[in-house]
Structure 1
Amino acid sequence: GAAVEIEITAKQIIKIKEKLNKILAKHTGQPLEKVERDTDRDFYLSADEAKEYGIIDEVIKTKE
């Protein structure tokens, strides 16, 4: 019934999260354990922090 469907869905979500964490670790250069900790809860970064973390390549600043 519904409980089995919830269990199946939860397992799928966990597998997808594990794959995503491995992809993030590979492309950011961060250790997998750090990515797992950081993505376990809401994790906010400024633009400069995202660059330092390796999520983005460059911060584009406006000319003033």
Structure 2
Amino acid sequence: TTSGMARTILSFIERGLEPNYIDQYPKDIEKATLRQVNDAIKKYIQLDKMIIIKSGSLTKDGNPLK
């Protein structure tokens, strides 16, 4: 969407990047290896503090709809 593009470009500018980085960004993401992603998760995400929330519709008996 237009607002999504504007938000993305603004976030690049706020981080000191040029607006045309929007073309390079997907390429940089594709370069990330599984190991790099896993290392970043271990460094920045505290799994013991995560909360998992599930939502959806239930039948009258409380079972998930299929």
**Could you say whether these structures have the same fold, taking a TM-score greater than 0.5 normalized by the shorter chain as the test?**
no
When you count helix as a share of all residues, which structure comes out higher? Answer: 1
- Structure with the bigger RCO (C-alpha within 8 Å, sep 6+) is 1
